A = this chain, B = another copy of it.
Amino acid sequence: MLELRLVQGRLLKMVVEAMKELVTDANFDFSSSGVSLQAMDSSHVALVALLLRSEGFDHFRCDRNHSMGMNINNVSKLLRCAANDDIIILNADDDSDTITFIFESPKQDKLADFAMKLMDIQNDHLGIPEAEYQAIVKMRSLEFARICKDLSSIGDTVVISVTKEGIKFSTRGGIGSANIVCRQNTTVDKPENSTTIEMKEPVSLTFALRYMNSFTKATPLSNTVTISMSSDMPVVVEYKIAEMGYIRFYLAPKVEDDD
């Protein structure tokens, strides 16, 4: 028996929109501790990891572990039928091949239920080791999204370099070259607008802009984004989900000698 209730239903809408561009089918893993998901993008280059802790839900009952395969695009279609202020309830019987989404309007005058067929998805769970990172940058998620979008109009890859002074995004293309530097600044009016850098040593890595732009679909989930980098390791782009968990994107750097 699975029963979840989330008054802030729009969080679930945003989570699914955040990964829809990258992930086609995925298993949602339900356990007493919460909901988690791990999925590679269709070209097997980027990894998405989601965690929604049970404490973040207004009601959470999960009698035994369930792994439920869903087509993310179909889930997105259903969740688009929920208004932003709707309460969202998920229900599934043990051994059922369907999951039910229920959307309650705040005034209780409208009630929608959707039964969706589950899928059988083969999924090799990757162990993601907790790593130490050479540099961890926290910045405004909107700023990060804007930079990735802007650089995409110039080139295909971005070099992200972190020093004590700031984080630099560089690209190069047919038109010319571009560098965007965000300086560390912690003395701003609002803490969520600051750019903070924790750095053990400078690091500089190259990534495909296409994936970075997909990651920024998670921007509505959080005012800030955390970018964790170490040489020869995948970057982690993390958006916290208020009081519930996070969505993390992993992307291996490009190995290039020609820069």
Complex contact A195–B112 (CB within 8 A) = no
Docked complex Cα distance between A154 and B74 (Å): 9
- Most chain B CB within a 10 A radius of its CB, from A110, A143, A178: A110
Determine if A116 and B183 form an interchain contact, defined as CB atoms under 8 angstroms apart. no
Task: Assess the A111–B180 pair: CB atoms within 8 A.
Answer: yes
Is B109 in contact with A78, judged by CB distance below 8 angstroms?
no
- Residues of B contacting A185 in the complex (Cβ-Cβ under 8 angstroms): 107, 109
Distance in angstroms from A174 CB to nearest chain B CB is 8
Stoichiometry, as copies per complex, reads: 3
In the complex, 11 of the A-B residue pairs with CB atoms within 8 angstroms, ordered by the A residue number, are A81-B150, A81-B154, A81-B178, A108-B183, A109-B182, A109-B188, A109-B195, A110-B182, A112-B180, A114-B177, A116-B175
* 7 further contact pairs, Cβ within 8 A, besides A83-B146, A117-B176: A77-B153, A81-B150, A109-B183, A110-B181, A111-B183, A113-B178, A114-B154
Q: Which residue of B lies closest to A71 (CB)?
A: B175
8 Å CB interface, A105-130 against B:
107-117
A42: CB under 8 A from chain B?
no
Chain B residues positioned under 8 Å from A161 (CB to CB): none
Q: Which of A125-182 contact B (CB under 8 A)?
A: 143, 146, 150-151, 153-154, 175-182
Q: Find chain B residues with CB under 8 A from A115 CB.
A: 176-178
- Chain A positions within 8 Å of B, measured between CB atoms, are 71, 74, 77-78, 80-81, 83, 98, 107-117, 143, 146, 150-151, 153-154, 175-183, 185, 188, 195
Contacts of A74 in B (CB 8 A): 175-176
- In the complex, A114→B173 CA distance in Å? 11
Complex CA–CA separation, A114 to B179 (angstroms): 6
Q: Which residue of B lies closest to A184 (CB)?
A: B109
Q: How far is the CB of A112 from chain B (nearest CB, A)?
A: 4
Distance (whole angstroms) from the CB of A30 to the closest CB of chain B = 18
Closest Cβ neighbor of A177 among chain B residues = B115
Knowing A109-B195, A110-B181, A183-B111 are in contact, say whether A77-B116 is a contact too (CB < 8 A). Answer: no
Query: Assuming the A-B contacts A175-B116, A175-B117, are A110 and B80 also in contact, with contact meaning beta carbons closer than 8 angstroms in the complex?
Result: no
Establish whether residues A176 and B116, one from each chain, have CB atoms under 8 Å apart when the complex forms. Answer: yes
Q: How far is the CA of A112 from the CA of B182 in the complex (A)?
A: 9
Q: Within 8 Å CB of A153, what residues of B?
A: 77, 80-81
